[in-house]
Structure 1
Amino acid sequence: MFYQQNHANAVTPAMAKKALGKLLHRRDRNPLFHHLIGYIWKREFLQQRGYHFHLLLAFDGEHVQESAKLALEIGNYWSVVATEGTGAFLDCKRYKDDFRSGGIGTLKGGNPKERQKFHKTLIYLTKTDYYISLVDGEHGRNLGKGQLSRSKKDPKR
Protein backbone atom coordinates (compact mmCIF):
# COMPACT_ATOMS: atom_id res chain seq x y z
CA MET A 1 0.00 0.00 0.00
CA PHE A 2 1.49 3.28 -1.04
CA TYR A 3 0.67 6.80 -2.18
CA GLN A 4 0.10 7.96 -5.74
CA GLN A 5 3.28 9.40 -7.20
CA ASN A 6 1.96 12.96 -7.29
CA HIS A 7 1.23 12.80 -3.52
CA ALA A 8 4.08 10.63 -2.20
CA ASN A 9 6.57 13.41 -1.48
CA ALA A 10 4.05 15.36 0.60
CA VAL A 11 3.29 12.46 2.95
CA THR A 12 4.85 12.77 6.40
CA PRO A 13 5.45 9.89 8.80
CA ALA A 14 2.48 11.06 10.88
CA MET A 15 0.20 11.11 7.82
CA ALA A 16 1.26 7.60 6.83
CA LYS A 17 0.64 6.27 10.34
CA LYS A 18 -2.75 7.97 10.45
CA ALA A 19 -3.80 6.35 7.16
CA LEU A 20 -2.75 2.91 8.41
CA GLY A 21 -4.71 3.58 11.58
CA LYS A 22 -7.80 4.43 9.52
CA LEU A 23 -7.46 1.16 7.66
CA LEU A 24 -7.04 -1.02 10.74
CA HIS A 25 -9.04 0.96 13.32
CA ARG A 26 -12.36 -0.57 14.33
CA ARG A 27 -11.64 -3.60 12.15
CA ASP A 28 -14.02 -5.56 14.36
CA ARG A 29 -16.87 -3.42 12.92
CA ASN A 30 -15.68 -3.24 9.31
CA PRO A 31 -17.21 -6.06 7.21
CA LEU A 32 -14.01 -6.30 5.15
CA PHE A 33 -12.24 -7.65 8.23
CA HIS A 34 -15.06 -9.81 9.57
CA HIS A 35 -13.04 -13.05 9.39
CA LEU A 36 -9.62 -11.52 10.05
CA ILE A 37 -7.65 -13.49 12.62
CA GLY A 38 -4.39 -11.52 12.54
CA TYR A 39 -2.15 -9.14 10.63
CA ILE A 40 1.40 -7.85 10.31
CA TRP A 41 2.33 -4.48 8.82
CA LYS A 42 5.67 -2.94 7.93
CA ARG A 43 6.34 0.70 7.09
CA GLU A 44 9.15 1.48 4.66
CA PHE A 45 10.49 4.48 2.81
CA LEU A 46 11.86 4.63 -0.72
CA GLN A 47 13.14 7.83 -2.29
CA GLN A 48 11.04 7.32 -5.43
CA ARG A 49 7.88 6.10 -3.65
CA GLY A 50 7.95 7.75 -0.23
CA TYR A 51 6.33 6.03 2.73
CA HIS A 52 4.54 2.80 2.00
CA PHE A 53 3.34 -0.27 3.86
CA HIS A 54 3.51 -3.99 3.40
CA LEU A 55 0.50 -5.67 4.95
CA LEU A 56 0.00 -9.37 5.58
CA LEU A 57 -3.57 -10.24 6.52
CA ALA A 58 -4.57 -13.65 7.88
CA PHE A 59 -8.21 -14.64 7.46
CA ASP A 60 -10.13 -17.70 8.61
CA GLY A 61 -10.02 -19.94 5.53
CA GLU A 62 -13.23 -21.67 6.51
CA HIS A 63 -15.09 -18.43 5.83
CA VAL A 64 -12.99 -16.64 3.20
CA GLN A 65 -12.62 -18.31 -0.17
CA GLU A 66 -12.58 -15.30 -2.50
CA SER A 67 -9.31 -13.79 -1.29
CA ALA A 68 -8.61 -11.98 -4.59
CA LYS A 69 -11.90 -10.09 -4.37
CA LEU A 70 -11.32 -9.29 -0.70
CA ALA A 71 -7.78 -8.04 -1.40
CA LEU A 72 -9.17 -5.73 -4.09
CA GLU A 73 -11.83 -4.37 -1.71
CA ILE A 74 -9.28 -3.77 1.08
CA GLY A 75 -6.89 -2.11 -1.39
CA ASN A 76 -9.68 0.15 -2.60
CA TYR A 77 -10.55 1.01 1.01
CA TRP A 78 -6.92 2.04 1.55
CA SER A 79 -6.85 4.06 -1.68
CA VAL A 80 -10.14 5.90 -1.21
CA VAL A 81 -10.97 6.01 2.52
CA ALA A 82 -7.76 5.60 4.55
CA THR A 83 -5.66 7.93 2.37
CA GLU A 84 -8.57 10.16 1.35
CA GLY A 85 -8.09 9.40 -2.35
CA THR A 86 -4.29 9.75 -2.47
CA GLY A 87 -3.38 6.08 -2.05
CA ALA A 88 -2.77 3.14 -4.33
CA PHE A 89 -2.02 -0.53 -3.76
CA LEU A 90 -0.53 -3.60 -5.31
CA ASP A 91 -1.74 -7.09 -4.49
CA CYS A 92 1.31 -9.35 -4.77
CA LYS A 93 -0.90 -12.42 -5.15
CA ARG A 94 -2.63 -10.91 -8.19
CA TYR A 95 0.74 -10.10 -9.80
CA LYS A 96 2.52 -13.14 -8.45
CA ASP A 97 4.84 -13.49 -11.47
CA ASP A 98 6.39 -10.12 -10.59
CA PHE A 99 7.36 -11.20 -7.07
CA ARG A 100 9.87 -13.79 -5.91
CA SER A 101 7.51 -15.54 -3.50
CA GLY A 102 4.39 -14.78 -5.55
CA GLY A 103 1.92 -14.08 -2.74
CA ILE A 104 0.91 -16.61 -0.16
CA GLY A 105 -2.71 -17.65 -0.66
CA THR A 106 -4.28 -20.34 1.48
CA LEU A 107 -1.94 -22.11 3.90
CA LYS A 108 -2.50 -25.75 4.57
CA GLY A 109 -0.34 -27.03 7.40
CA GLY A 110 1.05 -30.09 5.65
CA ASN A 111 2.28 -28.41 2.48
CA PRO A 112 6.01 -27.63 2.85
CA LYS A 113 6.11 -25.44 -0.29
CA GLU A 114 3.38 -23.14 1.06
CA ARG A 115 5.04 -23.01 4.47
CA GLN A 116 8.36 -22.06 2.82
CA LYS A 117 6.71 -19.18 0.92
CA PHE A 118 5.13 -17.98 4.16
CA HIS A 119 8.49 -18.17 5.94
CA LYS A 120 10.20 -16.13 3.17
CA THR A 121 7.46 -13.52 3.40
CA LEU A 122 7.92 -13.22 7.16
CA ILE A 123 11.68 -12.82 6.73
CA TYR A 124 11.08 -10.03 4.20
CA LEU A 125 8.58 -8.27 6.47
CA THR A 126 10.88 -8.36 9.47
CA LYS A 127 14.15 -7.41 7.75
CA THR A 128 15.91 -4.38 9.19
CA ASP A 129 15.31 -1.20 7.23
CA TYR A 130 18.19 1.15 8.02
CA TYR A 131 17.16 3.80 5.49
CA ILE A 132 13.86 4.67 7.18
CA SER A 133 15.73 5.51 10.38
CA LEU A 134 17.73 8.10 8.45
CA VAL A 135 14.74 9.83 6.82
CA ASP A 136 12.19 9.49 9.63
CA GLY A 137 12.86 11.94 12.44
CA GLU A 138 10.02 10.48 14.55
CA HIS A 139 11.72 7.11 15.03
CA GLY A 140 8.35 5.47 15.57
CA ARG A 141 7.40 1.88 15.08
CA ASN A 142 7.97 0.50 11.62
CA LEU A 143 6.54 -2.95 12.29
CA GLY A 144 3.36 -3.96 14.01
CA LYS A 145 0.95 -6.81 14.47
CA GLY A 146 -2.52 -7.53 15.70
CA GLN A 147 -4.75 -10.48 16.33
CA LEU A 148 -8.31 -11.24 17.15
CA SER A 149 -8.98 -11.00 20.88
CA ARG A 150 -9.41 -14.31 22.68
CA SER A 151 -13.05 -13.56 23.51
CA LYS A 152 -13.94 -13.41 19.80
CA LYS A 153 -12.08 -16.53 18.73
CA ASP A 154 -13.93 -19.74 18.17
CA PRO A 155 -13.65 -21.59 21.54
CA LYS A 156 -13.11 -24.89 19.67
CA ARG A 157 -9.83 -23.67 18.17
Structure 2
Amino acid sequence: MDQYAYYDTPNDEEMLDWLGGLHGSEIITNAAGQPIAMPSDYHWRNDLVWVDQQLKAMANTRQFLDHQRLIQPEAFGADTVVLAPDPLLERLTTLFTVLVTMFHETDIGQYYRPSPYATRFLWAFGQCAYLHEAGFRQPPAMSRHEAEQVLTDLNQRLEAWHQSMNQLDFTYECNRNRRNSRNNYKRLCELMEALFECHSRLMVVRVDLGYSEFDSPYIGYETARYHRKQLCHAFNTDPLFNHLLGYAWKLEWQPKKGFHYHFIFFFDGHQCQEDITKARLISEMWAKAITGGQGHPWNCNLDAEQTYHYNAMGCIDYHDTAKQQGLFKLAKYLTKIDEYAAMLVNGRTFQTSRKPSSQDGPRRGRPRLYQGRPFNSGR
Protein backbone atom coordinates (compact mmCIF):
# COMPACT_ATOMS: atom_id res chain seq x y z
CA MET A 1 0.00 0.00 0.00
CA ASP A 2 1.25 3.48 -0.77
CA GLN A 3 2.35 5.41 2.27
CA TYR A 4 -0.27 8.14 1.84
CA ALA A 5 -2.94 6.08 0.12
CA TYR A 6 -5.69 6.68 2.63
CA TYR A 7 -5.78 10.41 2.02
CA ASP A 8 -8.55 11.75 -0.19
CA THR A 9 -6.58 14.65 -1.61
CA PRO A 10 -8.31 15.40 -4.94
CA ASN A 11 -6.56 16.11 -8.20
CA ASP A 12 -7.71 19.01 -10.38
CA GLU A 13 -10.13 16.87 -12.40
CA GLU A 14 -11.76 15.43 -9.28
CA MET A 15 -12.03 18.89 -7.77
CA LEU A 16 -13.75 20.23 -10.89
CA ASP A 17 -16.17 17.30 -10.90
CA TRP A 18 -17.04 17.81 -7.27
CA LEU A 19 -17.49 21.56 -7.60
CA GLY A 20 -19.51 21.09 -10.75
CA GLY A 21 -21.89 18.93 -8.77
CA LEU A 22 -21.98 21.44 -5.95
CA HIS A 23 -23.01 24.22 -8.31
CA GLY A 24 -25.42 21.96 -10.11
CA SER A 25 -27.92 19.59 -8.56
CA GLU A 26 -26.18 18.25 -5.46
CA ILE A 27 -28.28 18.60 -2.30
CA ILE A 28 -26.61 18.23 1.09
CA THR A 29 -28.74 16.33 3.61
CA ASN A 30 -28.46 15.06 7.16
CA ALA A 31 -28.54 11.42 8.25
CA ALA A 32 -32.34 11.41 7.99
CA GLY A 33 -32.24 12.62 4.39
CA GLN A 34 -33.49 16.11 5.26
CA PRO A 35 -32.00 19.17 3.49
CA ILE A 36 -29.39 21.08 5.50
CA ALA A 37 -29.06 24.85 5.30
CA MET A 38 -25.37 25.52 4.71
CA PRO A 39 -23.74 28.62 6.25
CA SER A 40 -22.86 31.32 3.74
CA ASP A 41 -19.11 31.10 4.32
CA TYR A 42 -19.27 27.42 3.35
CA HIS A 43 -20.61 28.46 -0.06
CA TRP A 44 -18.14 31.33 -0.42
CA ARG A 45 -15.19 29.01 0.24
CA ASN A 46 -16.44 26.58 -2.38
CA ASP A 47 -17.13 29.42 -4.82
CA LEU A 48 -13.60 30.77 -4.46
CA VAL A 49 -12.05 27.36 -5.17
CA TRP A 50 -14.43 26.88 -8.10
CA VAL A 51 -13.43 30.28 -9.51
CA ASP A 52 -9.75 29.42 -9.26
CA GLN A 53 -10.24 26.14 -11.11
CA GLN A 54 -12.27 27.85 -13.83
CA LEU A 55 -9.61 30.54 -14.30
CA LYS A 56 -6.86 27.93 -14.62
CA ALA A 57 -8.90 26.12 -17.27
CA MET A 58 -9.43 29.40 -19.16
CA ALA A 59 -5.73 30.20 -19.00
CA ASN A 60 -4.94 26.91 -20.72
CA THR A 61 -7.49 27.25 -23.53
CA ARG A 62 -7.00 30.91 -24.54
CA GLN A 63 -10.42 31.34 -26.18
CA PHE A 64 -12.01 34.59 -27.36
CA LEU A 65 -15.54 35.78 -28.19
CA ASP A 66 -16.85 35.53 -31.76
CA HIS A 67 -18.54 38.79 -32.91
CA GLN A 68 -20.55 37.33 -35.78
CA ARG A 69 -22.02 34.45 -33.83
CA LEU A 70 -22.80 36.36 -30.62
CA ILE A 71 -24.60 39.46 -31.94
CA GLN A 72 -28.26 38.57 -32.43
CA PRO A 73 -31.43 40.71 -32.87
CA GLU A 74 -33.35 41.17 -29.60
CA ALA A 75 -36.52 40.15 -31.47
CA PHE A 76 -37.55 39.58 -35.06
CA GLY A 77 -37.26 42.87 -36.96
CA ALA A 78 -35.92 44.77 -33.91
CA ASP A 79 -33.26 47.46 -34.27
CA THR A 80 -31.62 46.47 -30.99
CA VAL A 81 -29.44 43.42 -30.44
CA VAL A 82 -28.34 41.23 -27.56
CA LEU A 83 -25.41 38.91 -27.04
CA ALA A 84 -26.49 35.32 -27.60
CA PRO A 85 -25.85 32.61 -24.98
CA ASP A 86 -22.23 31.52 -25.10
CA PRO A 87 -20.24 29.28 -22.71
CA LEU A 88 -17.24 31.63 -22.51
CA LEU A 89 -19.38 34.73 -22.00
CA GLU A 90 -21.44 32.98 -19.33
CA ARG A 91 -18.27 31.86 -17.58
CA LEU A 92 -16.85 35.40 -17.64
CA THR A 93 -20.09 36.77 -16.22
CA THR A 94 -20.21 34.23 -13.40
CA LEU A 95 -16.55 34.67 -12.48
CA PHE A 96 -16.94 38.44 -12.52
CA THR A 97 -20.03 38.32 -10.30
CA VAL A 98 -18.44 36.09 -7.67
CA LEU A 99 -15.11 37.90 -7.50
CA VAL A 100 -16.52 41.43 -7.57
CA THR A 101 -19.05 40.54 -4.88
CA MET A 102 -16.34 39.06 -2.67
CA PHE A 103 -13.55 41.56 -3.14
CA HIS A 104 -15.06 44.82 -4.40
CA GLU A 105 -18.63 45.21 -3.18
CA THR A 106 -18.56 43.47 0.23
CA ASP A 107 -16.07 42.74 3.01
CA ILE A 108 -16.31 38.98 2.42
CA GLY A 109 -12.92 38.95 0.72
CA GLN A 110 -11.09 40.12 3.83
CA TYR A 111 -11.17 36.52 5.06
CA TYR A 112 -9.61 35.06 1.92
CA ARG A 113 -6.48 35.34 -0.18
CA PRO A 114 -7.34 35.31 -3.92
CA SER A 115 -5.05 33.37 -6.21
CA PRO A 116 -2.78 35.17 -8.72
CA TYR A 117 -5.25 34.16 -11.44
CA ALA A 118 -8.11 35.85 -9.57
CA THR A 119 -6.24 39.05 -8.73
CA ARG A 120 -5.33 39.55 -12.39
CA PHE A 121 -8.87 38.76 -13.49
CA LEU A 122 -10.11 41.53 -11.19
CA TRP A 123 -7.45 43.84 -12.60
CA ALA A 124 -8.55 43.12 -16.18
CA PHE A 125 -12.35 42.89 -15.73
CA GLY A 126 -13.14 44.63 -12.44
CA GLN A 127 -14.42 47.81 -14.13
CA CYS A 128 -16.17 46.12 -17.06
CA ALA A 129 -19.57 47.82 -17.41
CA TYR A 130 -21.17 45.07 -19.52
CA LEU A 131 -20.29 42.25 -17.10
CA HIS A 132 -21.52 44.33 -14.18
CA GLU A 133 -24.85 44.89 -15.91
CA ALA A 134 -25.17 41.28 -17.05
CA GLY A 135 -24.04 39.81 -13.75
CA PHE A 136 -25.98 41.92 -11.27
CA ARG A 137 -29.06 42.83 -13.35
CA GLN A 138 -29.63 41.25 -16.76
CA PRO A 139 -27.85 41.27 -20.13
CA PRO A 140 -28.72 44.62 -21.75
CA ALA A 141 -30.12 45.25 -25.23
CA MET A 142 -28.07 47.67 -27.35
CA SER A 143 -27.35 48.85 -30.86
CA ARG A 144 -25.22 46.72 -33.15
CA HIS A 145 -22.42 49.27 -32.92
CA GLU A 146 -22.52 49.16 -29.12
CA ALA A 147 -22.48 45.37 -29.22
CA GLU A 148 -19.39 45.42 -31.42
CA GLN A 149 -17.70 47.74 -28.93
CA VAL A 150 -18.68 45.52 -25.99
CA LEU A 151 -17.22 42.39 -27.60
CA THR A 152 -14.08 44.25 -28.62
CA ASP A 153 -13.69 45.49 -25.05
CA LEU A 154 -14.23 41.99 -23.59
CA ASN A 155 -11.69 40.42 -25.96
CA GLN A 156 -9.15 43.14 -25.19
CA ARG A 157 -9.63 42.49 -21.47
CA LEU A 158 -9.23 38.77 -22.07
CA GLU A 159 -6.01 39.39 -23.98
CA ALA A 160 -4.73 41.67 -21.22
CA TRP A 161 -5.51 38.97 -18.64
CA HIS A 162 -3.62 36.35 -20.67
CA GLN A 163 -0.68 38.71 -21.17
CA SER A 164 -0.52 39.48 -17.44
CA MET A 165 0.17 35.82 -16.78
CA ASN A 166 3.37 36.03 -18.82
CA GLN A 167 4.87 38.60 -16.47
CA LEU A 168 7.54 37.73 -13.93
CA ASP A 169 5.54 38.93 -10.94
CA PHE A 170 2.77 36.45 -11.81
CA THR A 171 5.26 33.57 -11.89
CA TYR A 172 6.73 34.78 -8.61
CA GLU A 173 3.31 34.80 -6.94
CA CYS A 174 2.41 31.37 -8.32
CA ASN A 175 5.62 29.98 -6.84
CA ARG A 176 4.90 31.43 -3.40
CA ASN A 177 3.49 28.16 -2.08
CA ARG A 178 6.49 26.26 -3.42
CA ARG A 179 8.87 28.67 -1.68
CA ASN A 180 6.89 28.41 1.54
CA SER A 181 7.00 24.62 1.31
CA ARG A 182 10.78 24.68 0.97
CA ASN A 183 11.11 27.02 3.95
CA ASN A 184 8.76 24.87 6.03
CA TYR A 185 10.67 21.73 5.14
CA LYS A 186 13.93 23.39 6.17
CA ARG A 187 12.42 24.45 9.52
CA LEU A 188 11.05 20.98 10.26
CA CYS A 189 14.35 19.34 9.30
CA GLU A 190 16.26 21.70 11.59
CA LEU A 191 13.84 20.96 14.42
CA MET A 192 14.25 17.19 14.03
CA GLU A 193 18.03 17.43 13.76
CA ALA A 194 18.18 19.59 16.88
CA LEU A 195 16.00 17.13 18.78
CA PHE A 196 18.25 14.23 17.83
CA GLU A 197 21.26 16.27 18.92
CA CYS A 198 19.72 16.62 22.38
CA HIS A 199 18.00 13.24 22.67
CA SER A 200 19.20 9.85 21.50
CA ARG A 201 15.68 8.41 21.10
CA LEU A 202 12.48 10.07 19.93
CA MET A 203 8.99 8.67 19.89
CA VAL A 204 7.16 9.99 16.82
CA VAL A 205 3.37 10.30 16.97
CA ARG A 206 1.25 11.51 14.09
CA VAL A 207 -2.47 12.28 14.07
CA ASP A 208 -4.79 13.93 11.56
CA LEU A 209 -7.37 16.07 13.33
CA GLY A 210 -10.48 16.99 11.39
CA TYR A 211 -14.25 17.02 11.75
CA SER A 212 -17.14 14.68 11.11
CA GLU A 213 -18.76 14.66 7.70
CA PHE A 214 -21.87 16.26 9.18
CA ASP A 215 -20.00 19.01 11.07
CA SER A 216 -17.21 19.88 8.62
CA PRO A 217 -19.34 22.23 6.43
CA TYR A 218 -20.08 24.34 9.51
CA ILE A 219 -16.46 24.59 10.70
CA GLY A 220 -14.87 27.80 9.46
CA TYR A 221 -11.23 28.76 9.77
CA GLU A 222 -11.73 30.74 12.99
CA THR A 223 -13.34 27.75 14.71
CA ALA A 224 -10.66 25.35 13.46
CA ARG A 225 -7.93 27.73 14.61
CA TYR A 226 -9.58 28.07 18.05
CA HIS A 227 -9.67 24.29 18.43
CA ARG A 228 -6.03 24.01 17.35
CA LYS A 229 -5.00 26.68 19.87
CA GLN A 230 -6.89 24.85 22.63
CA LEU A 231 -4.96 21.69 21.80
CA CYS A 232 -1.65 23.54 21.80
CA HIS A 233 -2.54 25.05 25.19
CA ALA A 234 -2.90 21.52 26.53
CA PHE A 235 0.76 20.87 25.70
CA ASN A 236 1.63 22.92 28.80
CA THR A 237 -1.22 21.80 31.06
CA ASP A 238 -2.18 18.18 30.38
CA PRO A 239 -0.05 15.26 31.72
CA LEU A 240 -0.53 13.51 28.38
CA PHE A 241 2.14 15.86 26.97
CA ASN A 242 4.57 15.70 29.93
CA HIS A 243 7.45 14.43 27.80
CA LEU A 244 6.67 16.33 24.60
CA LEU A 245 9.89 17.69 23.05
CA GLY A 246 8.60 19.28 19.86
CA TYR A 247 5.83 19.30 17.29
CA ALA A 248 4.69 20.65 13.92
CA TRP A 249 1.26 21.13 12.36
CA LYS A 250 -0.15 21.92 8.94
CA LEU A 251 -3.63 23.15 8.02
CA GLU A 252 -5.38 21.68 4.97
CA TRP A 253 -8.77 22.03 3.31
CA GLN A 254 -10.48 19.40 1.20
CA PRO A 255 -13.99 19.54 -0.28
CA LYS A 256 -15.38 16.63 1.75
CA LYS A 257 -13.27 16.97 4.89
CA GLY A 258 -13.21 20.76 5.18
CA PHE A 259 -10.50 22.28 7.39
CA HIS A 260 -8.29 19.79 9.22
CA TYR A 261 -4.84 19.62 10.77
CA HIS A 262 -1.93 17.24 10.33
CA PHE A 263 0.07 17.04 13.57
CA ILE A 264 3.40 15.35 14.24
CA PHE A 265 4.69 15.08 17.81
CA PHE A 266 8.16 14.23 19.10
CA PHE A 267 8.24 12.74 22.60
CA ASP A 268 11.22 11.65 24.69
CA GLY A 269 11.62 8.02 23.65
CA HIS A 270 13.28 7.11 26.94
CA GLN A 271 10.28 8.32 28.92
CA CYS A 272 7.40 7.30 26.64
CA GLN A 273 6.26 3.96 25.28
CA GLU A 274 3.23 2.75 23.33
CA ASP A 275 3.03 5.33 20.55
CA ILE A 276 -0.29 3.91 19.29
CA THR A 277 -1.87 4.51 22.69
CA LYS A 278 -0.44 8.04 22.82
CA ALA A 279 -1.90 8.82 19.40
CA ARG A 280 -5.26 7.36 20.44
CA LEU A 281 -5.39 9.49 23.60
CA ILE A 282 -4.55 12.66 21.65
CA SER A 283 -7.22 11.75 19.10
CA GLU A 284 -9.79 11.23 21.86
CA MET A 285 -8.88 14.59 23.39
CA TRP A 286 -9.50 16.27 20.04
CA ALA A 287 -12.76 14.43 19.39
CA LYS A 288 -14.29 15.02 22.84
CA ALA A 289 -12.62 17.63 25.05
CA ILE A 290 -11.43 20.02 22.33
CA THR A 291 -14.24 19.93 19.75
CA GLY A 292 -17.13 18.77 21.92
CA GLY A 293 -17.88 15.74 19.79
CA GLN A 294 -17.45 17.42 16.40
CA GLY A 295 -13.93 16.15 15.87
CA HIS A 296 -13.04 13.22 13.66
CA PRO A 297 -9.38 12.19 14.18
CA TRP A 298 -7.19 9.62 12.47
CA ASN A 299 -4.51 7.67 14.35
CA CYS A 300 -1.64 7.43 11.86
CA ASN A 301 0.46 5.25 14.21
CA LEU A 302 -2.12 2.48 14.09
CA ASP A 303 -0.92 -0.27 11.72
CA ALA A 304 1.85 2.02 10.51
CA GLU A 305 4.09 -0.89 9.50
CA GLN A 306 1.46 -2.17 7.08
CA THR A 307 0.27 1.26 5.91
CA TYR A 308 3.48 3.13 5.07
CA HIS A 309 6.25 2.08 2.74
CA TYR A 310 8.62 4.29 4.75
CA ASN A 311 7.44 3.91 8.35
CA ALA A 312 8.62 6.75 10.57
CA MET A 313 6.22 6.22 13.50
CA GLY A 314 7.04 5.07 17.00
CA CYS A 315 10.49 5.12 18.58
CA ILE A 316 13.48 6.13 16.47
CA ASP A 317 17.01 5.86 17.79
CA TYR A 318 19.76 8.24 16.79
CA HIS A 319 21.61 5.49 14.90
CA ASP A 320 18.51 4.16 13.07
CA THR A 321 19.29 5.83 9.75
CA ALA A 322 16.67 3.88 7.79
CA LYS A 323 13.81 5.07 9.95
CA GLN A 324 15.23 8.58 10.02
CA GLN A 325 15.17 8.66 6.23
CA GLY A 326 11.51 7.73 6.39
CA LEU A 327 10.99 10.60 8.81
CA PHE A 328 12.43 13.06 6.31
CA LYS A 329 10.28 11.65 3.53
CA LEU A 330 7.31 12.21 5.80
CA ALA A 331 8.51 15.75 6.46
CA LYS A 332 8.42 16.44 2.72
CA TYR A 333 4.74 15.51 2.66
CA LEU A 334 3.83 17.35 5.86
CA THR A 335 5.41 20.61 4.75
CA LYS A 336 3.88 20.82 1.29
CA ILE A 337 1.59 23.85 1.37
CA ASP A 338 -2.05 23.04 0.70
CA GLU A 339 -3.06 25.36 -2.15
CA TYR A 340 -6.68 25.67 -1.07
CA ALA A 341 -5.96 26.25 2.62
CA ALA A 342 -3.48 28.99 1.66
CA MET A 343 -6.19 30.61 -0.47
CA LEU A 344 -9.05 30.25 2.02
CA VAL A 345 -7.31 31.72 5.07
CA ASN A 346 -5.22 34.78 5.78
CA GLY A 347 -3.55 33.18 8.78
CA ARG A 348 -0.72 30.72 9.27
CA THR A 349 -1.08 27.27 7.69
CA PHE A 350 2.12 25.69 9.08
CA GLN A 351 4.09 25.96 12.29
CA THR A 352 6.77 24.14 14.25
CA SER A 353 7.72 24.35 17.90
CA ARG A 354 10.84 26.16 19.02
CA LYS A 355 14.08 24.48 18.05
CA PRO A 356 15.93 23.29 21.17
CA SER A 357 19.56 24.02 21.87
CA SER A 358 22.11 21.53 23.14
CA GLN A 359 21.74 23.07 26.62
CA ASP A 360 18.00 22.28 26.82
CA GLY A 361 18.45 18.73 28.02
CA PRO A 362 20.98 15.95 28.56
CA ARG A 363 21.64 13.49 25.78
CA ARG A 364 20.94 9.93 26.86
CA GLY A 365 22.57 6.78 25.56
CA ARG A 366 26.13 5.75 24.85
CA PRO A 367 28.60 8.36 23.52
CA ARG A 368 28.37 8.98 19.80
CA LEU A 369 31.27 8.16 17.54
CA TYR A 370 30.92 11.36 15.53
CA GLN A 371 29.45 14.82 15.79
CA GLY A 372 27.48 16.90 13.36
CA ARG A 373 24.28 16.36 11.44
CA PRO A 374 22.92 12.93 12.47
CA PHE A 375 21.40 12.07 9.10
CA ASN A 376 21.02 13.38 5.59
CA SER A 377 17.96 15.59 5.30
CA GLY A 378 18.29 15.82 1.54
CA ARG A 379 18.48 19.61 1.59
For these two proteins, the number of residue pairs brought into alignment is 153
User: For the residues of structure 1 that align with 2:338 and 2:288, how far apart are their CA atoms?
Assistant: 28
Matching of residue 33 in structure 1 with residue 241 in structure 2: yes
Aligned-residue offset at 1:139: 1.6
Matching of residue 146 in structure 1 with residue 356 in structure 2: no
Matching of residue 58 in structure 1 with residue 246 in structure 2: no
Normalised TM-score (structure 1): 0.88
Unaligned runs of at least 5 residues, structure 1: none
Q: Which is worse superposed, 94-103 or 79-88?
A: 94-103
Q: Does the 8 Å CA contact 1:93/1:103 hold for their aligned counterparts? A: no
Q: What residue in structure 1 maps to residue 326 of structure 2?
A: 117
Matching of residue 82 in structure 1 with residue 290 in structure 2: yes
- What secondary structure sits across from 1:94 in the alignment? coil
Q: What residue in structure 2 maps to residue 105 of structure 1?
A: 314
Aligned-residue offset at 1:133: 2.5
Q: Does the 8 Å CA contact 2:316/2:323 hold for their aligned counterparts? A: yes
Q: Percent identity, please.
A: 27
User: For the residues of structure 2 that align with 1:42 and 1:76, how far apart are their CA atoms?
Assistant: 19
Q: Does the 8 Å CA contact 1:37/1:147 hold for their aligned counterparts? A: no
Aligned-residue offset at 1:69: 1.2
Aligned-residue offset at 1:68: 1.3
- What secondary structure sits across from 2:266 in the alignment? strand
When residues 14 and 120 of structure 1 are mapped into structure 2, their CA distance, relative to the original with a 3 A threshold, is same
When residues 148 and 126 of structure 1 are mapped into structure 2, their CA distance, relative to the original with a 3 A threshold, is closer
1:126-141 alignment to 2 at 5 Å?
126-134=335-343, 136=344, 138-141=345-348
Q: Which amino acid aligns with 2:324?
A: R
Q: Does the 8 Å CA contact 2:312/2:323 hold for their aligned counterparts? A: no
Unaligned runs of at least 5 residues, structure 2: 1-208, 364-379
Aligned-residue offset at 1:112: 2.0
Choose which of 197, 202, 210 in structure 2 pairs with 1:2: 210
More strand by share: 1
- What secondary structure sits across from 2:249 in the alignment? strand
Aligned-residue offset at 1:148: 8.2
More helix by share: 2
Aligned-residue offset at 1:26: 4.2
Aligned-residue offset at 1:27: 1.6
Aligned-residue offset at 1:98: 3.5
User: For the residues of structure 1 that align with 2:311 and 2:353, how far apart are their CA atoms?
Assistant: 23
User: For the residues of structure 2 that align with 1:124 and 1:111, how far apart are their CA atoms?
Assistant: 21
For each residue in 1:84-130, what CA deviation from the matched residue of structure 2 results, as whole angstroms up to 9, or x when unmatched? Answer: 11001111120323444445211112122101110011111111221
Over 4 Å off, 4+ runs: 147-150
When residues 67 and 147 of structure 1 are mapped into structure 2, their CA distance, relative to the original with a 3 A threshold, is farther
Say which one has the larger Rg.
2
